[in-house]
Chain A
Amino acid sequence: MNLITVSGPPSSGKTSIIIKTINSLHQRDLKVGVVKFDCLYTDDDVLYEKIGVPVKKGLSGSLCPDHYFVSNIEEVVQWGVDLELDVLITESAGLCNRCSPYIKDVKAICVIDNLSGINTPKKIGPMLKSADIVIITKGDIVSQAEREVFASRVHSVNPKAITMHINGLTGQGAYELSTLLYDEGDNIDTVKGKKLRFSMPSALCSYCLGETRIGEDFQMGNVRKMDLGGKND
């Protein structure tokens, strides 16, 4: 089974791209499954079901969704192996710019859209910087110049990645992406022992554990204070 991790800011077009790409994989008679990780809510599973793709969803609720991802990915892989999938795709909404669910030696795709503003590539951390393939969506509604500037910004934070422009609505470019995704020789039946590409930050403060009251008295653990004295950093 091939494992592919797809991540990207909310509403950047991940599901649209994955669905259009699965259509092309289906044409090659490949069996594809999807697992969606999100925080509080998602309807994506319904969309995947509609095209006949086996799907599971996991909501991390009060936990960090990327931490939740690593804690569950091995079980998810076993689910895919049991279903005898050829390709298992995970979709995670990148809610925090510091974490990313990418695993070493597992194909990592970041989906980012042209509408998110030209400074976005600079703001997104490992999720964009350590991806193998960067998909830029929503090029159909911005000008050529804006697309070019945006792509050059993406390129300067991750020059090594393959950058592709895909239209999530029409699927233009999705066939092309599908040709990069499946490799028969690339077999994964477990991710046990594999490593994340990037460590996830340590954060354990009283608010992580459910504290709601405000004030120094209630702050324990890993707490950091803003410097409001001088200039902004």
Chain B
Amino acid sequence: MINYKDIENKTLSSIEKEYPFITSFYESNKLVVEENENTTLNEYFNSFTEEEIEEWAIDIDKIKEDMIIFINEMLSFLGVKEEVGVNSLTILPGQDKSGNKENFEELTINKSEIISIVGPTGSGKSRLLADIEWTANADTPTKRSILINGDIPDKKWRFSSSNKLVAQLSQNMNFVMDLTAREFIELHARSRMVEEEEEVIEKIIEAANHLAGEKFDLETPITSLSGGQSRALMIADTAILSTSPIVLIDEIENAGIDRKRALNLLVSEEKIVLMATHDPTLALMANKRIVIKNGGIHKVIETDEKERGILVQLDKLDAITSKLRAELRAGNSLNVEDIVL
């Protein structure tokens, strides 16, 4: 932890050398460093005239305070990377909508595990996901508690914007930035202060192309990617670049992306994956299935070998659909003989 006194008499260039990330703070707050490199921080702040302060709506005291908070947070954020991450997530029971205790004792999910959540609309699936995101501590309508690595979690998971517990993927998401795939990944990598930028970019694009039916390259604008390609890039980027240890998935459609590979990618990056889905293939790929009823966890079903056997049949169905899709794309007629189970 540093405080203002520690840096007030340092020059802007020595501050930048010590805390390279400060440039993004200067930039966002429109503080001009050029030509002031050898000015001390105090001299720099004192150099603003009354008119400039009024004109650009600057609050010097607030900026000083913000700068210190920013530096301290970045220092602890950069430190966190080396710390032990999230190895497990535990859900302790609360109550359903009628106030009855939930029907399980304790559910622990470890990293690299996949959990599916099923239940009719309005049953409380989103509420469960929200409890996890908020690291509920018997203080939400469900009265559930969430533990991280077996302990009551640090409040940072609720409020810090660089330490979000949960990343989300859903089929409604689109890219809105006007950037190429390379620029997009670069931007994300920089906001995360990643050092091996080129390596990470290569890794993400390779992973995305491994998931997508049709390949694309780094110079493609992200807004012109197909649905499947966009989804593939989002998943690869979330798996590799997002800091969040838990990924919540709200259905991934079947078209244009290899969902099994997508889940494997997330798991191989040591994420905990939770997905609300009614797709049998996805549900069976999960290690466990949480059944929600009337706002409470009603059952936890482990996917056993017998159930998993169904996957083989489903894969065949998928293969048929893919083949038919490929025929359509190629402009051919479809044959009923192609449908053999």
CB < 8 Å: which of A115, A122, A130, A145 contacts B59?
Answer: A130
Interface residues in B133-190 (C-beta closer than 8 Å to A): 133-134, 139-141, 158-159, 161-162, 164, 167-170, 172-177, 184-185, 187-188
Is A142 in contact with B173, judged by CB distance below 8 angstroms? yes
List of 3 A-B pairs having minimum Cβ-Cβ separation, nearest first: A156-B28, A125-B57, A159-B69
Residues of B with Cβ closer than 8 Å to A? Answer: 24-25, 27-30, 54, 57, 59, 62, 65-66, 69-70, 73, 126, 129-130, 133-134, 139-141, 158-159, 161-162, 164, 167-170, 172-177, 184-185, 187-188, 191-192, 230, 234, 237-238, 241-243
Is A141 in contact with B73, judged by CB distance below 8 angstroms? no
Is B184 in contact with A145, judged by CB distance below 8 angstroms? yes
Is B234 in contact with A145, judged by CB distance below 8 angstroms? yes
- 19 residue pairs A–B, Cβ–Cβ below 8 Å: A118-B177, A126-B57, A130-B62, A143-B237, A145-B184, A145-B188, A148-B188, A148-B243, A149-B187, A151-B164, A152-B161, A159-B66, A159-B69, A160-B65, A163-B161, A172-B126, A172-B130, A198-B57, A201-B57
Give the residues in chain B near A179, CB-CB below 8 Å. Answer: 139
CB < 8 Å: which of B28, B126, B230, B234 contacts A122?
Answer: B28
Shortest Cβ distance from A97 into B: residue: B57
CB < 8 Å: which of B28, B66, B159, B192 contacts A153?
Answer: B28
Residues of A with Cβ closer than 8 Å to B? Answer: 27, 98, 114-115, 117-118, 121-122, 125-126, 129-130, 139-149, 151-160, 162-164, 170, 172-173, 175-176, 179, 198-199, 201
Is A140 in contact with B172, judged by CB distance below 8 angstroms? yes
Give the residues in chain B near A170, CB-CB below 8 Å. Answer: 126
Expressed in whole angstroms, the minimum distance between the Cβ of B106 and any Cβ of chain A is 23
Give the residues in chain B near A149, CB-CB below 8 Å. Answer: 187-188, 191
- Once bound together, how far apart are the Cα atoms of A107 and B136, in whole Å? 24
- Once bound together, how far apart are the Cα atoms of A147 and B173, in whole Å? 11
Is B65 in contact with A122, judged by CB distance below 8 angstroms? no
Is B234 in contact with A144, judged by CB distance below 8 angstroms? yes
Give the residues in chain B near A117, CB-CB below 8 Å. Answer: 177
Give the residues in chain A near B140, CB-CB below 8 Å. Answer: 175-176
Is B170 in contact with A155, judged by CB distance below 8 angstroms? no
Give the residues in chain B near A114, CB-CB below 8 Å. Answer: 176
CB < 8 Å: which of A141, A144, A162, A163 contacts B242?
Answer: A144
Is A98 in contact with B66, judged by CB distance below 8 angstroms? no
Expressed in whole angstroms, the minimum distance between the Cβ of B253 and any Cβ of chain A is 16
- Once bound together, how far apart are the Cα atoms of A117 and B234, in whole Å? 18
- Once bound together, how far apart are the Cα atoms of A33 and B54, in whole Å? 34
Shortest Cβ distance from A114 into B: residue: B176
- Once bound together, how far apart are the Cα atoms of A46 and B168, in whole Å? 33
- Once bound together, how far apart are the Cα atoms of A117 and B176, in whole Å? 8
Is A122 in contact with B173, judged by CB distance below 8 angstroms? no
- Once bound together, how far apart are the Cα atoms of A151 and B185, in whole Å? 16
Give the residues in chain B near A126, CB-CB below 8 Å. Answer: 57, 59
Expressed in whole angstroms, the minimum distance between the Cβ of A72 and any Cβ of chain B is 22
Q: A126-B59, A141-B172, A144-B167 are in contact. Are A158 and B66 (CB under 8 A)?
A: yes
Is B175 in contact with A142, judged by CB distance below 8 angstroms? yes
Expressed in whole angstroms, the minimum distance between the Cβ of B323 and any Cβ of chain A is 30
Q: A156-B24, A156-B70 are in contact. Are A146 and B177 (CB under 8 A)?
A: yes
